[in-house]
Structure 1
Amino acid sequence: MTNSPEVATKIDMASMPVQLPTFPAEPVAARARFFNSGNAFNVKLPAVPAAAFREEAARALVATTTALLACDQSEVIDTPFPATTPLMLARYATIAPKDTLATDFAATGVIWYVIRGSGTTRAGAEVFDWAAGDVFLTPGGPDTSLASGLEGAVLWLVSNEPQLAFDHLVPAQGPAAAVETAHYPATEIARQLQRVVDAAQNDTTSGIALIFSSARQEASRNIMPSLTLSLNTVPAREHRRAHRHNSAAITLILKGESAYSMVGGLRCDWSPFATLVTPATEPHSHHNESDERAMFLIVQDGGLHYHARTMGFAFLEATGVAE
């Protein structure tokens, strides 16, 4: 009687290491790598945390020199480049009186909000003046500079630099650029917002918000191909009902002394010009306990999700029901 041969134990597909070419004939073949249906889809990346950048805002508001202060979470989310969320980077820009900030952002475009002061922007051949409360959009690249007035200036800006850095891309310049300069003066913003406030709402309306776009992006209703910008409001003693979406959101608090957000079940109190991060898919709501309308700017990577048909917006509570 002979012994049965031992049956070798097979390795589980999910435990297999990367598979390398067995006999590559040339360097290009040696670069090939293989995975399988058990180990290729379980990539685990650090979660994007909800965050509040208050110290950066405070430093910007008292700064006397020209500088950029990044709201950087790259160490937490493990990216090799500065990032507030995987695809967006927010900063504060401070410009000393009568000084110039020259920029060279590797981004499709840059969204700016003027917190304080006044000045002039030169973007390629275009020149325009700005003041507190203005929003403007500039293309990325080296052809943009901001010169401040006698009192200096503080601005908030968001770009899609991490999106381009992920693919090692360089933005197109000149006529080939995907973004053209656009200026939204504070007086025009107030006028257009009032038209929205005066309009009727229904159960599907996502709050009271003014959405920024441009002539080139009018069809998509975005401000940039990949980014959206909105001026959101919450009326006095009301709240914006809980909801979720697949885009990440970066928020600048403009007005809301007694306001707060609930993000993933945690309360985040507002403070002037703080930058808040709402991670993608996280349930959240906004609450105003004051007697004045609360206001906040929100930049999202929503353009990408609209294009991919993956925005996934959904309300999580009925109309008028408080959280």
Structure 2
Amino acid sequence: MSSTSTASLSSLPAGLDMADLPMQHPRAPAGAAQARARFFNSGNAFNVKLPVVPAQLFPPPQEGRFGVFDCDQSDALGCGFAATTPLMLARYVRIAARDALLPLDVNATGSVWYVIAGSGRLSGGADSFTFGTGDVFLLPGASGYRLEAGPEELLLWTVGNEPQLDFERAQPASRASATIDAVHYPADEIERQFALIFSTATHDETSGRALIFSSDRQSAARNLTPTLTLSFNTLEPHTHQRTHRHNSAAITLVVQGEDCHSMVGHAMCPWAPWSTLVTPPGAPHSHHNAGTRGARFLIVQDGGLHYHARTMGFEFLELSE
């Protein structure tokens, strides 16, 4: 039988398994709308095989290279648009001293930015502000942003949900109807928040000491955007974060860590300064610090979607010591 069919009962081979029925067309469509109908069955509709999300390490762009650099796995994922995971895209952006990236279009519901090095100014949106090394900021989807570097070259890391919108051929909401605003988290305020966290105690079920970013409009969900979560994780010297899993994919930026690595499944992923690590959804993973300094790493997940769908599925796979 062909891969598509308008089968009748009399044409079916005796004993044909339901799962072997090809995709069915309507027999006698009365118009174009009916002709577009296709039918599967419970034996073959749920066995779609998609490529796995690779556990990958992306280095930052080499010195002297300027522009936008995608951490793109679209070929491995089998999608026709740039993507680091099925629903997220990570990028590095390097701008020469006193130069500008114009226009900068954020074709996502929202994107998170971390300033790896340098300082600069953002303009072109509803809010304009200056930023410096170690700052985090959130931008709603919009066109015409301007990023201008200060007296030194500027290196940024950003993650947005462009692939989620590309998957449905959707567009970001207008500024007037967007569900998020521009939010700026200066480095000194981040350090103040870390000091508060480290002044408190933890218990066995606490998944490390991490700072979770949110905003006034997203605070009820404790997310950064309706679909993305952002945490700034820490790991003390000679310790590790217990093996765990969750249904969200994770994109991690190594901010600080010497002699550190992650285990993703059975693969060891050594950390390198400012590298990007992709953790596939559902993959068992752990983070290890064999060095003498505390480690820090930023993690963006499509966790907002999973929290909303009640499918986050976080669990430790290793007993506490």
Scaled by the length of structure 2, what TM-score is found? 0.94
Partner of 1:81: 81
Q: Is the 8 A contact 1:210 1:230 kept in 2?
A: yes
CA positional deviation for 1:194: 1.5
Q: Is the 8 A contact 1:138 1:144 kept in 2?
A: no
Q: Percent identity?
A: 55
1:125 aligned onto 2:129? no
Per the alignment, in what secondary structure is the counterpart of residue 119 of structure 2? Answer: strand
Q: Is the 8 A contact 2:260 2:271 kept in 1?
A: yes
Structure 1 pair 84–64 and aligned structure 2 pair: CA distance change class (3 A): closer
Q: Gaps spanning 5+ residues in structure 1: where?
A: 1-6
Partner of 1:3: none
Match of 1:18 among 19, 23, 28: 23
Partner of 2:204: 203
1:114 aligned onto 2:115? yes
User: Equivalents in 2 of 1:91, 1:275: separation in Å?
Assistant: 9
Structure 1 pair 8–86 and aligned structure 2 pair: CA distance change class (3 A): closer
Q: Gaps spanning 5+ residues in structure 2: where?
A: 1-11
Per the alignment, in what secondary structure is the counterpart of residue 29 of structure 1? Answer: helix
Structure 1 letter corresponding to 2:186: P
Partner of 2:64: 63
Structure 2 letter corresponding to 1:185: P
User: Equivalents in 2 of 1:213, 1:50: separation in Å?
Assistant: 27
Per the alignment, in what secondary structure is the counterpart of residue 118 of structure 2? Answer: strand
Q: Is the 8 A contact 2:242 2:286 kept in 1?
A: yes
Q: Is the 8 A contact 2:68 2:94 kept in 1?
A: yes
Q: Is the 8 A contact 2:56 2:279 kept in 1?
A: yes
User: Equivalents in 2 of 1:148, 1:64: separation in Å?
Assistant: 15
1:36 aligned onto 2:37? no
1:278 aligned onto 2:283? no
Post-superposition CA distance 1:10-48 (Å, at most 9, x none): 321212211001000100100001000000000000000
Partner of 2:52: 47
Mean Cα displacement is larger for which, 79-88 or 119-128?
Answer: 119-128
Q: Is the 8 A contact 1:234 1:295 kept in 2?
A: yes
CA positional deviation for 1:123: 4.6
1:104 aligned onto 2:105? yes
Q: Is the 8 A contact 1:249 1:277 kept in 2?
A: yes
Mean Cα displacement is larger for which, 40-49 or 97-106?
Answer: 97-106
CA positional deviation for 1:8: 4.8
Scaled by the length of structure 1, what TM-score is found? 0.94
Partner of 2:181: 180
Structure 2 letter corresponding to 1:151: E
Structure 1 pair 218–157 and aligned structure 2 pair: CA distance change class (3 A): same
CA positional deviation for 1:106: 1.6
Structure 2 letter corresponding to 1:22: R
Mean Cα displacement is larger for which, 7-16 or 125-134?
Answer: 7-16
| 1:120-199 correspondence runs (5 A) | 120-199=121-200
User: Equivalents in 1 of 2:235, 2:125: separation in Å?
Assistant: 37
Post-superposition CA distance 1:136-179 (Å, at most 9, x none): 00111203221111212000000000011111110111120122
Partner of 1:292: 293
Per the alignment, in what secondary structure is the counterpart of residue 221 of structure 2? Answer: coil
Partner of 1:316: 317
Per the alignment, in what secondary structure is the counterpart of residue 166 of structure 1? Answer: helix
Structure 1 pair 149–189 and aligned structure 2 pair: CA distance change class (3 A): same
